[in-house]
Chains A and B, each alone.
Chain A
């Protein structure tokens, strides 16, 4: 399996600059979560990958070569706005779409049967799509993205509107595909889900990537922070060198280690904090504080507008 590389894409709609040098890659066997606020450029990026929109500059590469129609036929795509023929039957529709991806009639039928069964809509094969609930339409939409055994999955908000069971089914399918070596990229606003499911995450803001990395990489803060539940921090914090209190709320104190060093809680320097706190009284909880993806996302997207030249901040893959 190959890598999808999105390299310095720019795109403007009239005066609106939708993408300003968006770059990231999605590697074989990984699930890549693509997050960002509405209008940040997620859908535009995906549409350019699929070739339904032309980029102004930049390039999308698949397996090291510029992506072409033949390669795009091997992509499983779920557009942001769901798209199926409302008056066509589920089974016929999936077979038709699979054949457009190059499958023979027999293979297309087999794939349709397999995926409708996997996704739990096999009982609805003979029904028109418009007669299905939105959740089931979504399952059919996912089936449409999977029937041709794609080498790459590009899914625009595949989880929106799904019930918890369907979310589990969908998550399981994405994990399976990734385990088969298929790169999977999907966008979502459900950050807890992204955090749980994705191997790597990219945060896009105003058409440029501001963070790209594994969840752990993103959650890493510049300085380690530890939370202490015990004697009020004001009584002991002065005894710890190279540390400052970030917040002091009754028995809970968040301490930041200000000196340079490890950032993953393995430096051992936190023991000085624990010792100082214990010296002042009993400690009930002592833990490394890591921001959730949601907090991180909020920090990033609510950060003040940077002056022009923001593209320089783009975090290249693997940073």
Chain B
């Protein structure tokens, strides 16, 4: 009648991880958080798109049938002077003036092509003033050239092609809005995801301790298996969450053409963001699991995990406040190699394009190398503290106990 089979370590870890995953997926707050994060990224992209395309709108200038010949020169002059002008054909002076009064047109060109008059509501905008002034000057110049026996078209062509010789002596500006935004979003997303998952780990550990179910669990699985299952389960859920947000963000950016003018490779940045989430999550989750085991009440989780939270906030602040403006700042560069800091900084540098591939790989190697130390540390604290309920266990005692 004995139905028991041997449970391998992996089997135990998988069972624990499976429970964690199901618990998160059934949690309303978790589902809503994911929906909100995805919505925020998509909406952010849409807003950004609207803001950039609604920038300087074209000035609408009406031309009557008598002045229609001027439409092309007005538009051309506008583009030379950096004022986008859109010409609109109107039936006659009266209709055009009505549109000017409505504000539908910025100006109306009446009279004849040789002797135009510009009609405005109150005053001519600075951009259009320049356009019409230039146009008037060119007309005067052409007349003078013709009077002197020259070819106005020839002169106009020479003038158009004349340009000053410019020699650059400073560095070209590298500021790229798409990179800046990607770096910022990456930094914020990774910080949030790692922070939230880490808190879930600590809370989960304390929940088992508070409810005393941990005693039942530890009579069937070893502490490290329980901890590993927890980290794996919550980590997979967190990875799925981050992947969803990243895919939504990249999809929005590509779909709306937000990065068309940028040198950024979103795919690479996205893959690196996921890689760094995994490394960062594992590192911090282990610390959170160990520290969470020290306390027996949810109210104490915040206090006991404060040092780790602080450890996360420093690279985060540097990553979102300094790095986007000065990616080569020595503080940014050096911190991006420090394990526990690199998961929050290096992906920002990668997104900003300030990190070479070898730099990213070096930081990754250093971070991964530290993981076994964290596993050992966390397992020791966890095993020693998780069954000691009541008052908060001092870290020193948890490390010392056999």
Contact = CB atoms under 8 A, between A and B. Distances in A.
Interface stretch (A19-27, A67-75, A272-280): A67-75
B133 to A, nearest CB: 75
A69 B222 contact: yes
B170 interface: no
A149 B3 CA distance: 8
Given A81-B212, A83-B212, A85-B211, A100 B217 contact: yes
Interface in B6-58: 6-7, 12, 15-16, 19, 23
A77 B218 CA distance: 11
B82 interface: no
Nearest to B3: A107
Contacts of B23: 88
B23 to A, nearest CB: 7
A151 B3 CA distance: 11
A96 B212 contact: no
Contacts of A74: 2, 4
B7 A83 contact: no
Contacts of B211: 83-86
B5 A100 contact: no
Interface residues of A, number: 35
A79 B212 CA distance: 8
B5 A84 contact: no
A128 to B, nearest CB: 11
A132 to B, nearest CB: 13
A99 interface: yes
A77 B219 contact: yes
Interface in A177-221: none
Contact of A100 (B208, B214, B215, B221): B221
B254 to A, nearest CB: 40
B166 interface: no
Nearest to A52: B218
A101 interface: yes
Contacts of A75: 219
A54 to B, nearest CB: 8
Interface in B205-226: 207-208, 211-222
B256 to A, nearest CB: 41
Given A81-B212, A88-B23, A102 B219 contact: no
A102 B215 contact: no
A99 B213 CA distance: 15
A160 interface: no
A149 B4 CA distance: 8
A319 to B, nearest CB: 30
Contact of B216 (A83, A88, A103, A149): A83
A103 B215 contact: no
Nearest to A47: B215
Nearest to A70: B6
A96 B217 CA distance: 10
Contacts of B222: 69
A85 B26 CA distance: 15
23 contacts: A50-B215, A50-B219, A52-B219, A73-B4, A74-B2, A77-B219, A79-B212, A81-B212, A81-B215, A83-B211, A83-B214, A85-B208, A96-B19, A100-B12, A100-B15, A100-B221, A104-B3, A107-B3, A148-B3, A148-B4, A149-B2, A149-B4, A151-B2
Given A72-B220, A103-B3, A148-B4, 13 more contacts: A52-B218, A53-B387, A73-B4, A81-B215, A82-B212, A96-B15, A100-B12, A102-B5, A102-B7, A103-B5, A104-B5, A111-B3, A149-B1
Interface of A: 47, 50-54, 69-70, 72-75, 77, 79, 81-86, 88, 96-97, 99-104, 107, 111, 144, 148-149, 151
Interface of B: 1-7, 12, 15-16, 19, 23, 207-208, 211-222, 387, 389, 402
